[in-house]
Chain A
């Protein structure tokens, strides 16, 4: 089954997602999307390592495209789509040619959003077609009322599109608020 988990910063969504993955059953794969640039990033990664230590996850680092996910039963936890969406938009070294998409140069902001949305749907297709369970963690970023520069607005719109798409695909979805999972859709079959 596909589970979608969303929530704000520090809401406890990671801990909940790990518990969901464990209850869905192994083998457990943790797809870590965060590239590490600063001591702040390192601290964050260390916190996540500690949080999932001893739970039996095999970690796959995917700071660029999400590829090479083993096609087998068990559960893949992808954390997190907000970081991944930023990677896709901002990492100049990602080679999209394997996804066979036209270049994004000179596209309008709306077309650019669609272009990158196409990339994400295409790269995740093999993940979604696997036999096993997939748990997606994402973040809510569009509720601070600010209008940002064009690039950030593209990011906001793109992530909202990705989140809405994952919500549509999900068999069960939750928003985690103050550590409390609030059911939004479906239910867990464990």
Chain B
């Protein structure tokens, strides 16, 4: 089952993920994510999907089906000032919604704060 690691930029989610699972998360494209055991910077994948006119929420449903044991790391990007550009607002919200779907399906969700992982699911 999916293991999700989230945290603010640079808080060390990929380090905790590797320590706990033995799988090293790597940055990859949306297509590569279907076959990558450890996915890093998931927020950049949602950005790529939106830039290509796709839906991050549909993508994660497909990802859960095709890569059901993935370790996924993502920066939390939804706690800043409402972005000026509509694309940035949409990216922020769509990433949040996609993470809700992943978290719902995940076996565990860990929030990393200053290098400390807090298991919230």
Chain A residues engaging chain B, CB cutoff 8 angstroms? 7-12, 40, 139-146, 148, 152, 155-156, 177-180, 182
**Cβ–Cβ contact B81 & A148, under 8 A:** yes
Given the interface contacts A180-B109, A180-B120, does A11 sit within 8 Å of B81 by beta carbon?
Answer: no
**A177 & B120 in contact (Cβ 8 Å cutoff):** yes
Number of interface residues of B (CB under 8 A): 27
Which residues of B approach A to under 8 Å, CB–CB? 4, 6, 8, 76-82, 86, 89, 92-97, 99-100, 102-104, 109, 111, 120-121
Q: How far is the CA of A182 from the CA of B76 in the complex (A)?
A: 15
When chains A and B are docked, how far (Å) is the Cα of A142 from the Cα of B79? 7
Q: How many A-B residue pairs have CB under 8 A?
A: 78
Q: Are A12 and B100 in contact (CB-based, < 8 A)?
A: yes
Question: Is A177 a contact of B111 with CB atoms below 8 Å?
Answer: yes
Q: What CA separation (Å) do A153 and B51 show in the bound complex?
A: 30
- A80: min CB distance to chain B, Å: 12
B100 touches A11 (CB 8 A): yes
Rounded to whole angstroms, the CA-CA distance of A145 and B77 in the bound complex is 11
- Pick from A40, A155, A178: contact of B86, CB below 8 A: A40
Which residues on B sit within 8 Å (CB–CB) of A143? 8, 79-80
Report the bound CA distance from A29 to B15 in whole Å: 45
A81 to chain B, nearest CB (A): 14
